[in-house]
Amino acid sequence: MEFLTFKLDGDEFAVDVLKTREIVDLRSVTKVPQSPDFMLGVINLRGSVVPVIDLRLKFGMEKVDAGQSTSIVVMDVLVGAEKVIVGAMVDSVEEVMELDESQIEPAPRIGTRLNTEFIKGMGKQDEQFLIILDIDRVFSTDELAMVQGAAEQPAVAE
């Protein structure tokens, strides 16, 4: 299986390469009012309006200013029964790598910073751990379809 790997707050993550469409540079994002912070907003992707989420915030990590290597990984995600194109903002995109089934271990119950529900397994390469994400879960409807009240935080402007 092939995976696309990227970094978030020092940790390395991986998603099934078949789920990804393309990688684009960070561009002007329009915030949608009354949505939670981790939902960054929408971008124009060659004439389509595509929602983007900030994976750092989604995983409860600290927010940082976007840097040179900040990218958006555009993916096909199943939200409910519908296929949706979604962008995920990450610190940097690393590489596409091959992993055997044997190199993948089940997700640990504890010991990771994020909700184990989002984790498909742990990959191991050169003594380094990779967190393989179940990206459909990360974008699952229940998590994202927010109520108005959830947006108490001041929204981003300018």
Partner 1 sequence: MTMDQYAETFREETLELLSELEVGLLELEQNPEDVDVIGRVFRALHTVKGSAGMIGFDEISQFTHEVETVFELVRSGGLPVTGELVNLTLAARDIIKEMLDKNLGGESVDPEIADQLVAALRGLVPTQDDFSANGVAEAEELITSESEEATYHIRFRPPANIFHRGIQPQGLLQELSRLGTCRVIAQTDSIPRLDELDAELCYLYWDIILTTEHDEDRIHDVFIFVEDDCELKILPINEDLLAQSGEGGRLGDILVQHGDLSRDDLERVLQAQNKPKLGEVLVQAGVVTGAQLDVALEVQAEVKRQKQKREAVEESSSIRVRSEKLDSLVDLIGELVTVQARLSQTSAGQDDPVLNEIAEEVERLTWEMRDHILNIRMLPIGTTFSSFQRLVRDLSQELGKEAVLVTAGAETELDKTVIDRLGDPLVHLIRNSIDHGLESPEVRHKAGKPEQGTIFLSATHSGANVILEVRDDGGGINLNAIRERAKSRGLLTSEMETSEAELINLIFSPGFSTVGEVSSVSGRGVGMDVVKQAIDSLRGSIAVTSVEGKGTTFTIKLPLTLAIIDGLLVQVAGEKFVLPLSAVEECIELSRQDVASANNRNLIKVRGEIVPYLRLRERFRLNGKPPEIEQVVIAEAMGQRVGFAVDHVIGEHQTVIKALGQMYRDIKGLSGATILGDGTVALILDLPPLVQEAEADERILTDSVH
For residues 70-89, which are near partner 1 according to CB under 8 A?
Answer: 79-80, 82, 84, 86
Report the distance separating Cα 68 and Cα 25, nearest Å: 9
44 lies in the site for partner 1, by CB under 8 A = yes
CA dihedral sign, ordered 86, 144, 64, 33: positive
151 lies in the site for partner 1, by CB under 8 A = yes
Task: Give the start-end residues of each E strand in 9-152.
Answer: 11-16, 20-25, 39-45, 48-54, 71-79, 82-90, 92-98, 104-105, 119-125, 128-133
66 lies in the site for partner 1, by CB under 8 A = no
Residue found by looking up tokens 């962008």 in the block: 87
Q: What is the Cα gyration radius of the chain?
A: 15
96 lies in the site for partner 1, by CB under 8 A = no
How many Å separate Cα 140 from the centre of its chain? Answer: 12
Using the rule CB under 8 A, give the single segment among 94-102, 104-112, 114-122, 148-156 that binds partner 1: 148-156
Contact pick of 4, 14, 15, 43 for partner 1 (by CB under 8 A): 43
48 lies in the site for partner 1, by CB under 8 A = yes
Residue 69 region by backbone torsions, left for phi larger than 0, else alpha for psi between -120 and 50, else beta: alpha
Q: How far is the CB of 6 from partner 1 (least distance, A)?
A: 20
Contact pick of 8, 14, 15, 39 for partner 1 (by CB under 8 A): 39
Q: Which residues sit at the interface with partner 1, rule CB under 8 A? A: 28, 30-35, 39, 41-44, 46-49, 51, 79-80, 82, 84, 86, 139, 141, 144-148, 151, 154-155, 157-158
